[in-house]
Amino acid sequence: MKKICATKFKEQCFALLDQLDAGGLIVTKHGKPVALVIPYETQDADLIGSLRHKVKVRGDVFTTGIRWGADAQLGVRP
């Protein structure tokens, strides 16, 4: 990951953003990291499919499995 001091980042901000790679860029002040700049698309892209083969669906997800007979309770006759 690349590092750049805040002064240079301020001077070259737009050019740096155009050249930003997936690894991102660490902005430092007095040699200490103060910010991490990463491309917006990569934040969520890593989440897509991350739980594949880790989550198992058991049973029918479209029903509670409880038969509650709403028609019978209301006195509705067929």
Q: What is the pLDDT of residues 14-42, one digit of tens each?
A: 999 999 988 899 999 999 999 999 987 65
Q: Determine if residue 23 is left, alpha or beta; phi over 0 gives left, psi from -120 to 50 gives alpha, anything else beta.
A: alpha
pLDDT-derived band at 9, boundaries 50, 70, 90: very high
Q: Is this structure's pTM higher than 0.85?
A: no
Strand 32-37 and strand 2-5: the pairing is: unpaired
Q: What is the pLDDT of residue 72?
A: 60
